[in-house]
Amino acid sequence: MTALMERETSNSASSELFEKEATKYMDELFASALRMTKQREAAEDLLSEVYSKAWKSFHQFEPGTNLRAWLYKILTNTYINHYRHKQREPYMVELDRPDDPDTGQGGDLYDRILGASPSPFDNPDAVLANRILDQDLTKAIEGLPEEFRMAVLLSDVQNFAYQEIADILSIPIGTVRSRIWRGRRLLQRILWKQAVEAGIVTEDKKGKAPV
Amino acid sequence: MNCDEWFEKLYQILDADLSNKAVWKDLQDHMKGCQPCWDRFEFEKRIKARLKDSCGKESCSETIRARIKALFKK
């Protein structure tokens, strides 16, 4: 009886600790969920499902290991299993098709701005700092094909190391490297396309990027 | 090390994904002596920072916060 009571006390203490620790990550998990589902309502449902699962299986969690990464693993798994199939969308850029059929190049933002702009005021850094808005970046990341979006999100937005991303997504670290590489290149191609569409830069290589 | 070789490993420097100190030093040395590669690195660093700022700052609503907190009472 005493042993049971002790166990109950210790369980309840650790569940309180778990609640306290796990809820710290609510906002950042929500931000990630939003970039995955692209819809606020779906992201909220996803988030509560994540916490519900985490709560049910928190006895499987080993104290001292990385709680944040564990929650992200639940998030990505839940998203992949329950949400992904509901919203297949055409990608904003095609993966291996070059943008420029003449050169065969799929120029990214940096190269394209450098190529288009003879003015030092329109260098890639200036365009990024002054003309590319936060919402452009959000839209671009949401336009990435999912496997690249997940890798870039975990790396650039949530600052996970490659090995942690490999564990979260259950893929080899070499795959993480190549997804981040291609994901970032694609992201820049999307940003370039958006910038052209918005009239921030001009596609004509001979022309000058508008001020 | 030439610029193409450097470019291939660009993200390994950016993300601190390099355990080989000699390679790390080669990459750093190339960058310090090559303005275009240096500029490229700075740009990639900035875009990474901008992504974090723009995509990472969201707050969930009080409704959902309460819904999740209620889960823990079950």
pLDDT at res. A91:
58
pLDDT tens string A16-34: 888 888 999 999 999 999 9
**Length reported for chain B:** 74
pLDDT at res. A96:
58
Inter-residue contact B10 to B41 (CB < 8 Å)? yes
Question: For A136, which residue in chain B has the nearest alpha carbon?
Answer: B54
Closest alpha carbon to B62 in B70, B50, B54? B70
User: Which among B46, B50, B67 is the nearest to A48, CB-wise?
Assistant: B67
Question: For A185, which residue in chain B has the nearest alpha carbon?
Answer: B44
Task: Collect all residues with Cβ–Cβ distance below 8 Å to A17 and sequence separation of at least 6.
Answer: none
Residue A157 is classified by DSSP as I
3-state secondary structure chain B: CCHHHHHHCHHHHHCCCCCCHHHHHHHHHHHHHCHHHHHHHHHHHHHHHHHHHHHHCCCCCHHHHHHHHHHCCC
pLDDT at res. A117:
64
H helices present in A24-145, as ranges: 26-37, 40-56, 67-78, 109-116, 124-130, 134-142
> Higher pLDDT residue, A14 or A44?
A44
pLDDT at res. A94:
60
**Disruptive mutation site among B35, B72, B73, B74 for chain A (greatest number of A CBs within 10 Å):** B72
pLDDT at res. B57:
86
Query: With contacts defined as CB-CB under 8 Å, which chain A residues touch B47?
Result: 109, 128, 184, 188
pLDDT at res. A84:
72
The pair of structure tokens assigned to B15 is 């993300």
Is the Cβ of A36 closer than 8 Å to some Cβ of chain B?
no
Out of A5-14, A66-75, B8-17, B54-63, the most confident range is: A66-75
Domains of chain B by residue range: 3-73
| φ/ψ of residue B35, rounded to 5 | -60, -45
The region of weakest confidence among A45-54, A175-184, A186-195 is A186-195
Inter-residue contact A26 to B65 (CB < 8 Å)? yes
How does residue A100 score in pLDDT terms, banded at 50, 70 and 90? low
Give pTM, 2 decimals.
0.84
> Is residue B58 scored above 90 in pLDDT?
no
The interface predicted TM-score of the complex, written ipTM, equals 0.90
> Higher pLDDT residue, A86 or A157?
A157
pLDDT tens string A135-182: 999 999 999 999 999 999 999 999 999 999 999 999 999 999 999 999
pLDDT at res. A7:
45
**Disruptive mutation site among A50, A56, A139, A155 for chain B (greatest number of B CBs within 10 Å):** A155
DSSP H or E segment with residue A2: helix A2-23
